C-alpha cells in the first residue's frame, strides 16, 4: 500500500474501470443477473430518464452514466452478466432506514422490490443519496443475492476509492483486523474548546470485523468504497463531542452504552434541545452501535462513505446495528423514521474544531496506541508493514 503518512492530495490512482471493479468485488459467474437501484424524491422521475435533466441529482447521474451505460456499453458482455436494468425507489430520508417496496422502471411501470427485484437478481448495485447497507444486507440474507451500496457517489470517489485494487484493500484490512482483534476496550481522547474528553468503548474481547470490498461468496452486501476495521461495542462510558449538520457542536454524555444527554459547546441551542427531545422519547437512538477505523490512504471526497475509510480517521455510530452483527433492529425504535445508523466521523476535514490526540486499545493487560492526531501510530503502521 502507499506510505500511510504521505500527502493524500498527491496520490495517484489507476483510471477507473467498471469492469475491474465488478470483477474484483464480485468475481461474477457467467449468466448472473445484475441490476441498479437509485433513489429519487419521486421514483416516477425515472420515467424516460427525466431525472437526468435535474442538475442537483449528480449521484443518480453517475449511476446512469458510469454504471448503467458502462454495463450496456460492453462491461456486462465482458463479464458474462445479464440484465443491467435500472429502477428507482423513493428516497428514504435517513441513513440505513428500511427501503420502500415500490420501484419504478424507465417505462414508468411500477414494481415491487421484494417480488420483482430481490428474488430475481444475483448482484444488486444501490447508488443512492442515503446508505442502504443495513436493509439490503437483511434482504440479501433472505433472498440470497450479493450487492454493493455506493451512496454519495461523486467524481473523487469514482477516481480514487473505486479505482483502487480491492484485493490489496482486503489484504491491508485483514492485517489490521487480525492485529486488533480480541480487544477488551478502546478509548478515544477528544480535544475541543480547550478541554479533553474521553470515550471508552467496551468490546468484550470480540473479533474485529472488516469492510474490505470483496463480496464473492454467499449472500452479502459490500459498502463501497471499503477499507475499515470495526467493532460493535458491548458498552460505553464517558463523553464525546459531536458536530451536527448545521455546524453546532454538542458534548454527548454517555453511560450504559448510549448517549444519555447532550450539552451545547457552540452553535444553536435549539439543535441540541431537539436532539435531547429525541433521546428522551426514543432512547435507543443514542445507543453506540459501532466503532470504526479507516484503513486506506485516500483523498478527501467530502462524503463520509469514503472519508471514514481514510487511514488515521475514527468514527463511532449511533442507532441500528443489526447489519454489523449487533442487536438493534428497526422494530426496537419508537418510530420507524428513527431507525437509522448514523456514523459520526472525526477527521481533519470533517471536524477541524475537534482533534483526536489519541486512540488506545486495551488487550491482554497491555495498551496499544492506534492513532495520534489523525495519523496511524507505530502499532498500526507495523501491522500494515508486516
Query: Structurally, what CATH architecture does the domain formed by 17-159 represent?
Result: 3-Layer(aba) Sandwich (3.40)
Beta bridge partners of 83: 34
Residue pLDDT, tens place only, 81-95: 999 999 999 999 999
CB atoms within 10 A of CB 297: 24
Indicate the pTM of the whole model: 0.92
Please state the domain extents for the chain: 17-159, 166-385
User: Is the pLDDT reported for residue 178 higher than 70?
Assistant: yes
CA distances for 152 relative to 55, 86, 98, 210, 224, angstroms? 15, 18, 18, 21, 10
> At which residue does the C-alpha cell 465482458 appear?
78
- Between strands 183-192 and 355-363, the pairing is antiparallel
- Between strands 146-149 and 123-127, the pairing is parallel
Residue pLDDT, tens place only, 306-329: 999 999 999 999 988 888 888 878
pLDDT value of position 10: 64
Residue pLDDT, tens place only, 288-308: 999 999 999 999 999 999 999
pLDDT value of position 3: 41
Residue pLDDT, tens place only, 81-136: 999 999 999 999 999 999 999 999 999 999 999 999 999 999 999 999 999 999 99
**Mean pLDDT for the stretch of residues 20-31:** 97
| Cα 221 from Cα 124, distance rounded (Å) | 9
Encode burial over 156-174: b for 16+ CB neighbours within 10 A, e otherwise: bbbebbbbbebeebbebbb
Mean pLDDT of the chain: 95
Amino acid at each position: 500500500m502507499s506510505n500511510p503518512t504521505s500527502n493524500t492530495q498527491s496520490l495517484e490512482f489507476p483510471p477507473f474501470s467498471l469492469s475491474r471493479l465488478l470483477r474484483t468485488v464480485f468475481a461474477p459467474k457467467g449468466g448472473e443477473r445484475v441490476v441498479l437501484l437509485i433513489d429519487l424524491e419521486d421514483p416516477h422521475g425515472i420515467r424516460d430518464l427525466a431525472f437526468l435533466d435535474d442538475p442537483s441529482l449528480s449521484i443518480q447521474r453517475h449511476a446512469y452514466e458510469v454504471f448503467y451505460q458502462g454495463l450496456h456499453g460492453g462491461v456486462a458482455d465482458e463479464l458474462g452478466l445479464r440484465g443491467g436494468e435500472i429502477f428507482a425507489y423513493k428516497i428514504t430520508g435517513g441513513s440505513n432506514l428500511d427501503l420502500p417496496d415500490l420501484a419504478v422502471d424507465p417505462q414508468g411501470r411500477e414494481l415491487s422490490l421484494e417480488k420483482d427485484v430481490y428474488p430475481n437478481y444475483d448482484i444488486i448495485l444501490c447508488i443512492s443519496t442515503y446508505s442502504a447497507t443495513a436493509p439490503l444486507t437483511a434482504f440479501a440474507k433472505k433472498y440470497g443475492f450479493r450487492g454493493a451500496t455506493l451512496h454519495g457517489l461523486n467524481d473523487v470517489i469514482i477516481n480514487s476509492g473505486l479505482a483502487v485494487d480491492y484485493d490489496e484493500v482486503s489484504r491491508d484490512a485483514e492485517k489490521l483486523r487480525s492485529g486488533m482483534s480480541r480487544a477488551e476496550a478502546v478509548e478515544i481522547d477528544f480535544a475541543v474548546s480547550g478541554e479533553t474528553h474521553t470515550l471508552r468503548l467496551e468490546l468484550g474481547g470480540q473479533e474485529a470485523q472488516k469492510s474490505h470490498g470483496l463480496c464473492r461468496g454467499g449472500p452479502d452486501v459490500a459498502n463501497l468504497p471499503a477499507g475499515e476495521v470495526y467493532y460493535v461495542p458491548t458498552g460505553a462510558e464517558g463523553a464525546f463531542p459531536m458536530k451536527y449538520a448545521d455546524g453546532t457542536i454538542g458534548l454527548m454524555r454517555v453511560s450504559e452504552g448510549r448517549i444519555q444527554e447532550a450539552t451545547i459547546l457552540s452553535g444553536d441551542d435549539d439543535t441540541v434541545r431537539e436532539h435531547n427531545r429525541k433521546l428522551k422519547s426514543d432512547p435507543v437512538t443514542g445507543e453506540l452501535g459501532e466503532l470504526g477505523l479507516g484503513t486506506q490512504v485516500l483523498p478527501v471526497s467530502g462524503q463520509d462513505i469514503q472519508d471514514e475509510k481514510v487511514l488515521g480517521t475514527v468514527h463511532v455510530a449511533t442507532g441500528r446495528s443489526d447489519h454489523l452483527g449487533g442487536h438493534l433492529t428497526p422494530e426496537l425504535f419508537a418510530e420507524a423514521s428513527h431507525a437509522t445508523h448514523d456514523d459520526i466521523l472525526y477527521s481533519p476535514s470533517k471536524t477541524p474544531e475537534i482533534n483526536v490526540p489519541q486512540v488506545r486499545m486495551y488487550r491482554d493487560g497491555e495498551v496499544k496506541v492506534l492513532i495520534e492526531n489523525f495519523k496511524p501510530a507505530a502499532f498500526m503502521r507495523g501491522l500494515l508493514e508486516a
